[in-house]
Amino acid sequence: MPDTLILSGKVAAEAVYSDLSIRVEFLIQNGIKPGLAAILVGDDPASHIYVRSKTKRFKSMGLHSKTITFRNDVSEEELILTIDSLNHDKSFHGILVQFPLPKEINSQNVIKSILPEKDVDGFHPENVGLLTMGTPRIIPCTPKGIIRLLSQYEIDLFGKHVVVIGRSNIVGRPVSILASLKSTGANATSTICHSGTINIDDHTRCADVVITAMGSPNYLKGDMLKNGAVVIDVGINRVEIDDEKGYKLIGDVQWDSIQDIASAATPVPGGVGPMTIAMLVENTVEAAESIV
């Protein structure tokens, strides 16, 4: 078997931005400048990096972007009042709340306060319901990015068995639904595995595609795969090491052990991450297009 093909999210994301630039130009010519409002609570370094990278991409494409920051002690009421104001602000077509929020704030209440049409994360119950029904409006960014990345490399899920490790509402559940939809590039049989699954290896060894999103470093190893499987690693784990930086980022997949077993796999970093940001931009552009 040839060496494992690296599925580069950076390459695939640039293809997305190239397509979006034409659509953005059309919108701007029609007096619409897609805009994103990002809400950031607290001083978590990772959250700040994520939001900064997202807004940086918006600005590089000439789009409107604003980050609204709050201290950790912000009340749920104040947060929802801010979102309500953004719901009525026509200069913003998308609203993003960076999670996690402080434990004192009910995240579901915050998500529900965002207009479904501006929920570019795709987390609002209305958008989740539409996806589940097979008629998606706004698709969560990471799952959407995974499907687009596979498409970029001409990996068709039709008739394939996709095993997803992780059942979160952010990645696991929605990507399993997307993979199984009767649509171009999908139409797979999907299985969700999680902490309650007995003998996960029995499932992964039968899979044509394994998507792992559990946040457990080096969990998925080569002996858990069948020859030729495609591996999508959504995990981003910060592991301490003895060097100047003090840490490195690794995924859920033990990379060395899957070489020459997996036919294709995403690296960490540089795999799914860039696609998540690209899909956020696309979701915001689509939200702006819906009012043309």
CB atoms within 10 A of CB 46: 10
Active site residue 98: yes
Bridge partners for 240 per DSSP? 247
Spatial neighbors of 140 by CB under 8 A, at least 6 apart, are: 121, 122, 123, 131, 170, 171, 174
pLDDT, position 139:
98
Q: What is the pLDDT of residues 115-171, one digit of tens each?
A: 999 999 999 999 999 999 999 999 999 999 999 999 999 999 999 999 999 999 999
Q: What is the SS3 string spanning 48-92?
A: HHHHHHHHHHHHHCCCEEEEEEECCCCCHHHHHHHHHHHHCCCCC
In the predicted structure, residue 1 carries a pLDDT above the cut 50:
no
What residue ranges do the domains of the chain occupy? 32-116, 140-272
Largest CA distance in the chain: 57
Strand 230-233 versus strand 209-212 pairing type: parallel
Q: What is the pLDDT of residues 106-125, one digit of tens each?
A: 999 999 999 999 999 999 99
| CATH topology (fold) of 32-116 | Rossmann fold (3.40.50)
Closest of 266, 240, 270, 264 to residue 253, by C-alpha: 266
Question: pTM of the entire structure?
Answer: 0.95
The SS3 call for residue 111 is helix
Active site residue 108: no
Structure tokens at 229: 């499987």
Q: Exactly one of 118, 119, 121, 208 is catalytic; which is it?
A: 121
Q: Exactly one of 10, 19, 43, 54 is catalytic; which is it?
A: 54
Active site residue 33: no
Asked whether this chain's domains 32-116 and 140-272 adopt the same fold, the reply is yes
Q: Exactly one of 10, 29, 90, 98 is catalytic; which is it?
A: 98
pLDDT, position 292:
66
Closest of 2, 1, 4 to residue 257, by C-alpha: 4
Bridge partners for 97 per DSSP? 39
pLDDT, position 55:
86
Rg of the chain on CA atoms, in Å: 19
User: Quick one: average pLDDT of 247-271?
Assistant: 94
Spatial neighbors of 123 by CB under 8 A, at least 6 apart, are: 111, 140, 169, 170
DSSP label of 220? B
In the predicted structure, residue 91 carries a pLDDT above the cut 50:
yes
Between the CA of residue 222 and those of 7, 217, 226, what are the distances in Å? Answer: 17, 14, 8
DSSP label of 45? H
Domain 140-272 sits in which CATH superfamily? NAD(P)-binding Rossmann-like Domain (3.40.50.720)
Closest of 180, 116, 115, 109 to residue 143, by C-alpha: 180
What rounded mean pLDDT belongs to the chain? 95
Residue 197 dihedral angles phi and psi, to the nearest 5°: -80, 130
Structure tokens at 262: 């997996």
